[in-house]
Amino acid sequence: IASIISRLLGARVSVLPGQIRPQLGEHKAVYYARFFREAGINFNLEHFKFPPLKQHVSDSRRLLLAPAVGSPLEQHKKWPNEKFAELGSRILFDQQDLELELVGAPPERPILQEVYDRLPHIYRERVTIRTENNVYNAAQAMVGAEAIVTACSGASHMAAWADIPVVGLYGPTNPLFTGPFTEKLYP
C-alpha cells in the first residue's frame, strides 16, 4: 500500500515495503514518512517526531480498555461493547486491586459510556472514563498502565508510544500489517 501511495504522491524512486523496516516503538506516521522520503518525496521528518512521555508513578494498578475504533469506515474492526463490558467485569472480579479505565477520543465518549453502563454497579467505583483532548495527553495518560485491550485502533499505536503491552483484538485486519510497532503486542 505504501508503495502505491508514494507513486500517487509523485515518488521518483521505486521502494519495496521490505526495504524500509519499521523500528520498534515507531508510530506508523513516522514509518510512512520515512518510506515516502526514501521514495524521493520530500517529507520533513521533524514534523513527525513524537516527544518523549513522562514516567507515571502510581500505587494503583490500571488496565485500559479502548472499545472504539475511530472512523465510521473502520467499524468492521470493532469488538462489541457488550463483550468489552463482559471482559471488564471478569477482570474486575478476578483482580480486586485493579482499576479499569475506558479510554478514547472525546467523540467516542458515548461508546465508553455504554460500556460503563453495562458493567455491574458493584464495579463502577473502580472504573474511570477517560477522554483526552489531544494525542500527546492520551498517550501520556496511558504510561504506567498494566496493558490496554483494544481492536485495531489509534489507541494501540498510542499504547506503543507509551510503552505498555497491547492486547490486540484483530479480526479482518492483519496485526502484522496494521498493528503497532512494538514487541509488546499480543494479538
pLDDT tens digit sequence for 103-124 = 999 999 999 999 999 999 999 9
pLDDT tens digits along 125-144: 999 999 999 988 999 999 99
Q: Would the pLDDT of 182 be above 90?
A: no
d(CA 172, CA 10): 30
Q: 111, 67 in Cβ contact below 8 A? A: yes
Q: Phi, psi at residue 81, to the nearest 5°?
A: -55, -40
Torsion of CA 126, 109, 76, 28, to 10 degrees: -90
Band (20; pLDDT cuts 50, 70, 90): confident
Band (14; pLDDT cuts 50, 70, 90): low
Average pLDDT of every residue of the chain: 84
Angle between helical axes of 135-142 and 154-161 (0-180°, round to 10): 60
pLDDT tens digits along 75-94: 777 899 999 999 999 999 99
Q: Would the pLDDT of 174 be above 80?
A: no
d(CA 110, CA 120): 18
Q: pLDDT value at position 103?
A: 97
Band (30; pLDDT cuts 50, 70, 90): confident
Q: pLDDT value at position 19?
A: 72
- Alpha carbon distances (Å) from 169 to 70, 104, 164: 15, 16, 16
Q: Would the pLDDT of 6 be above 60?
A: no
DSSP 8-state secondary structure symbol assigned to residue 57: -
Mean pLDDT (whole number) for 51-57: 80
Q: 161, 51 in Cβ contact below 8 A? A: no
d(CA 148, CA 145): 7
